[in-house]
Structures are given as C-alpha cells and as structure tokens.
Chain A
Amino acid sequence: MISYFFYSIYIFASGTDSLPGMIAHSDESRHGQELFQEYHCIACHQFYGLGGHMGPELTNAMSYRGGNVGEIIARQFLANGGNGMPNLNLTETEISALIAYLKFVDKTGTYPPKNYKVKWGMIYQEDDPEWASGEKL
C-alpha cells in the first residue's frame, strides 16, 4: 500500500508539468470543463483516444484543420447539433466556454502523434517529457 502511494505520487507529479505549449486554465475554459463533464460529452467523444466512439476525437479539434476552421465547425455543432450530435440548447456563453476548454485541451499535445520515433519497440512522441527535455532518444 505504501509503495502504491509513493508510486502514484511519482506518476502524477513527474512529466506532467513541463510539457511544451501548455497553457493555463482561464475562468472560461474552467467553466467549459465543468460543462463538458455535466453533459457527459466523454460518452461520445474522446481526448487522446480515451472516451466514447459515437462522435469524433476532440484533442486537436481546434487546430488540425488550420486557422479557426475547427472553431467555426465546433460552434455550429454546439449550437444546432447534427450528424448524430444532439442539440443541447446551449447558450452563447456556454458555447464559448466549451470552445475555450477545447482550445485549452488542444495545447496539451498532439493526438494521434505525428512525429514519433520507434526504439526497442516503444514509441517516443514529440510530446513526451524525454523528447521535450532533449534527452537522447
């Protein structure tokens, strides 16, 4: 039990603080995170491939098309639903909060990884702490 406790602390604390490009939560993105949980969006969507399979993966939904195309598409779906997405009757404030949350998530990393190396059967991604710290891979 003691070893489990220390191991968990190590896992949670190491390599999760210094990832490049991460931005801090704002009040708006924090509100968006709460809404994402209240509406149980993870039942259909995924972050980093984790979650439901009914809707698209959202980790880089804001950036992968370039410019603000992702935001325009997301606003449309959030406001009206469509293609299986229900209309949740969200207010403008709620929609903006969810967009802010998706932008916050977008900056945490890339999924699926675009730049990676395979070494001894393991995948090293550009978002891994080892990669970011410039260790020899």
Chain B
Amino acid sequence: MIGLRFMRLGVITLAIGLFFGVIGGFQFLFPDFLRELLFTKTRAIHVSMVVSWIFLIAIGGIYYYLPSQLDKKLYSNKLADWHYWLFLITGILVLVSYLSGKFGGREYFAFPPILSIPIFLSWIFFGYNFFRTMSQETESWPVYYWQWATGIIFFFLTYTEAHLYLIPYFRENMVREIIVQWKSYGALTGSWNMLVYGTGLFIATRISGNDNVAKTKMAFALYFLGLFNLIFGWAHHTYLVPSETWIRTFAYFVSMTELYIFGKIIWDWRGSLQQWQINKHDTAYRFLFAADIWVFLNLGLALIISVPYFNLYTHGTHTIVAHAMGSTIGINTMILLSSLFYLINEAKVSQLDITETKKVINGFWITNISLAVFLIALICAGLGKGIFYTDMPFQAMMFNIRPFLVTFTLAGVALMLGLWVVLWQAFNKLGILNGSIDVSKQDEMRVNKQPT
C-alpha cells in the first residue's frame, strides 16, 4: 500500500536527519569538525529531513488509514503513487542542492525556490485525492477529518505565503521580509500540527474503540483553537521585530490554550481505557502517553517564554530551540511513532514479539530520558546566552555556555541511538506488512485471472 511506502521513507528520513543533527552538534563544539561539510549544509539537511519525517508519516498515515481503517476507497492510487515519486525525487534534488552548496537561504526550506514547484504540485495531488476520497462520506465528520483537511489546505496557503519574498514589494523592506518569513512559517507549523494532532486523535479513538472521543465538544474546541493558533499563533517568532503590538499579545493567548486542551483530551481518554486495550496496543499507547507528558512540559516552557519580559532574555537563544525541539520530538515524533506502532501491531503478520517489544521499549526510554537531558541543556545554554550576551562578546559568551553545549551534543547522540533502535524495528515491520499486502494483492490478481 502507498501509505506504507510513505512511512518507510519517513523512517529513513528521520534516521538520516538525526545523523546530520549529531554532526551539526559536533560542529557546534568543534567548528573544524568535517570542515568539507559546512555547518550551513548539515543544518539544512538535518532540518529538511526531520520536517520530511513529520510530513511523510502524517501523509502516509492518512493514505493508509482511509482505506484500511475508515472504509474509504482511495479516489486514485495512481495519483498517490505520483505524489510519492514526486516527493522522493524532489527530496533527492533538495539533498543534491544542499550538498553542492546551492541554497535559497530561508529557514526550514533552505533549497532554491525552483524546487518548491514540484512540492506545490505534489500537494495538489494529495489534496485532490484526499477531498475526492472524502466526498464518499455522507455522515458528519469526526474532528480528525477536519484536522487533516485543514492541515492540507493551510499548508498550501502558508507555503505559498512563504514565497512572497520573491516579490520585490516584500523583499525590499527588511521588516516586511522578516514578517513574511516568520508569519508564514509559524502558520505552516500549525498546518503540520493539524495533520499530526489529527493522527493522534485518530489513534486515540482506535485504541479506546470509542470514536466519540473525536466527536466531543472538547475535541471540536481543540480544533477551532488549533485553527486560531494556526492563524494568529505565529507572532512569538517576531515578538521583538518592530510591528503592531496587539497581534503578538493575542497570538500567545491562543497558543497557550490549544496545548492545554490537547493534553486534556488525551489525559481523559487514557483514564477511560480498559486494561486489555492498553495491553493490546502497549507500544502505541506508550508513545501517545509520552506525547501527553511532553505537551504539558512544553506548555510550561511556552508559558514562561511568552511573558514579554522573559521573552527579552530567551528570544534568539537556545531556549527557543528547546521549545522547537520539545514540540517536534517530544510531541510530534511521539505521536507519529504511536501511529506507526498502532498499525504495526494491528496487523497479525507484523505484530511485535516479546523480544522486539523489549527493544522498542528500551529505545523508548533511551529516547525520552536523553530528550529530557537534551532540552534541559538547551534551556540552560539559552539562559546563559540571554544573560551573558548582553555585555560580553559572542565568543566569550559561547565559552561560558560550552558545558551545556557539550551536554546537549552528548544527549543528542543518545537521542539518535534511542530513536534508531525504535526506527529499525518500525522499518522492518513496515516492510513485512507491505510485503504481506503485496502478496495478498498478487493472490487476488491470480484469482481474478482464473478462467471461469
């Protein structure tokens, strides 16, 4: 199935992204480390690979769950196939552009803007396929359908918005140029959060066997707050850029409430689970529960850095990186891993045995413990930068925070190893699952070809 191919590719991109993240960490400590591969390249590869991971697993999940779990025949398998190949080929071109030093010079999407054209095209394929598939639905949508639909539409809108800098009216004014970039990226993050949170809620309903979780008033309140967050919640990026004050004030209020409600839904759902349900989907449950914990921890950090006075000292420091990493690894990655292990354990052919489960659990603990150390080190480094950089040269400040950067890099190595253990199991199992589906399809074809 096409969804499984997306997910296997996603697992590979995360494994590579982690590797380049670790190289970048060592370059942070020793600028001459792998001098041929400049930090500008390793950082770009790291960021693009981990962003691809989020998209590939979320998209793959939607392609997989619609026909297999939600009884929706995919409108066009061929279109999904084109989507996959376009994604893969564009991804390879992006890597080639980075390695050859050809940049567009933007955050997140640092590749030359010409490569955005196939990304737009692939997104049109995905959106058209999704909405045509969903047109079969006659009943009212549970909230995860709305989240997926919103994520698809708003990615398209915000990704378009991110390219406004190509127009001189935006590029010629520095403040406007910065606001275009960081407003669109903030909203774009909201669009992929919609896809991921939708997946999280879908998994929650499947594990509990109660689809009403996704139809409650609270779930829809989350959805609307998520939408508000997507539209208004970007402003913390440009808090200290000269701009209208009311926009950023409103943005923080919105983003705080969204995280709280998301955590509350999963928390409530957890309490309603029966013991046998937890056991059946033990691995998926673990990752979803870990995501819940990280939501609350990240909320705490977000609340602190949202106080304008504290923001003066944390903006532009590693504390903000901690917030970003807490969201992408602690929340998004845990939800996406939950999605992977849900579908792996759902099919008999790919279920984890006791030894494999133990390996995943070990990886789970290594990942989460090292992530905690990683984030604490980043927060400390950020506080150090906020305090020292006001009256100290840059190099002196970096020397003072070096112990935290060493801790951050070592924790990054452990984080990579922990996730590699988990990803290796997922990659193998997805392969087995994919193979079993291919075999059953061949059997089906053989049956069809038999003379009547």
Contacts and interface: CB of A to CB of B under 8 A. Distances in A.
Contacts of A123: 239-240, 308-309, 311-312
Interface string A42-53: 111011111111
B35 A86 contact: yes
B218 interface: no
Interface string B275-308: 0000000000000000000000000000000011
Nearest to A101: B174
B316 interface: yes
A53 B325 CA distance: 14
B115 to A, nearest CB: 14
Contact of B38 (A37, A86, A128): A86
Contacts of B170: 12
A108 B395 CA distance: 25
Interface in B196-212: none
Contact of A16 (B103, B153, B157, B176): B176
B178 A50 contact: yes
B353 to A, nearest CB: 43
Contacts of A57: 316, 389, 394
Interface string A1-39: 101100110011011110100101100000001001111
B182 interface: yes
Nearest to B248: A122
Contacts of B180: 12
B403 interface: no
Given A1-B153, A12-B170, A43 B43 contact: yes
Interface stretch (B75-83, B105-113, B123-131): B105-113
A51 to B, nearest CB: 7
Nearest to A13: B176
Contacts of B31: 54, 83-84
Interface string A115-127: 0101001111101
Contacts of A49: 240, 315-317
Interface in B222-257: 231, 237-245, 247-249
Contacts of B174: 22, 47, 104-105, 108
A97 B308 CA distance: 35
A53 B243 CA distance: 24
Contacts of B244: 11, 14-15, 128-130
Contacts of A116: 312
Contacts of A113: 240, 312
A38 B105 contact: yes
Contact of A121 (B173, B237, B308, B318): B308
A15 B40 contact: no
B435 interface: no
A70 interface: no
Contact of A39 (B40, B107, B176): B40
Interface in B93-134: 102-107, 110
A127 to B, nearest CB: 4
B249 A122 contact: yes
6 contacts: A37-B103, A53-B318, A54-B31, A122-B308, A123-B308, A129-B244
Interface of B: 27-28, 31, 35, 38-40, 43-44, 102-107, 110, 153-154, 157, 161, 164, 170-176, 178-183, 231, 237-245, 247-249, 307-309, 311-312, 315-318, 321, 385, 389-390, 394-395
Nearest 10 A-B pairs (CB), nearest first?
A37-B105, A49-B316, A127-B242, A84-B31, A56-B394, A40-B103, A40-B40, A43-B40, A123-B308, A16-B176
